[in-house]
Amino acid sequence: NAGVMQNPRHLVRRRGQEARLRCSPMKGHSHVYWYRQLPEEGLKFMVYLQKENIIDESGMPKERFSAEFPKEGPSILRIQQVVRGDSAAYFCASSPRAASLYGYTFGSGTRLTVV
């Protein structure tokens, strides 16, 4: 029973490149959440998606960041033209339904380093 799978675990990008972070939710989970953890800080909500729909993107930076959760395949968090300030750990969590009643399952994260 695989948990939430995130890949890659570590990603190094040069400034200006694109970063693609993938999240495969647990089997049967159709709700996906992305969080960002900056150094020395707690996790900050970025976006909440259900299959093929963005429900809440209030935590996403207005530019360069996008997310999708297609009908087939993993959820993708895409960061265009990365800058040093994007260096962080990005965590994905999934849930079968309204998460607050059942709790999330978090992945192990992708640690993005921008050089």
Partner 1 sequence: AQSVTQLGSHVSVSEGALVLLRCNYSSSVPPYLFWYVQYPNQGLQLLLKYTTGATLVKGINGFEAEFKKSETSFHLTKPSAHMSDAAEYFCAVTNINAGGTSYGKLTFGQGTILTVHP
* Residues near partner 1 (CB under 8 A), total: 27
Minimum gap (Å) between residue 10 Cβ and partner 1: 9
- Which is nearer to partner 1, 17 or 108 (by Cβ)? 108
Q: What gap in Å lies between CA 47 and CA 6, rounded to an integer?
A: 16
Q: Which stretch binds partner 1 (CB under 8 A): 16-24, 64-72, 79-87, 97-105?
A: 97-105
What sign does the CA torsion over 38, 22, 100, 27 have? negative
Q: Read off the tokens for 94.
A: 């999934």
What sign does the CA torsion over 77, 43, 61, 13 have? negative
Q: Which residues of the chain form contacts with partner 1 (CB under 8 A)? A: 4, 6, 31, 33, 35, 41-45, 48, 55-56, 91, 93, 95, 98-101, 103-104, 106-109, 111
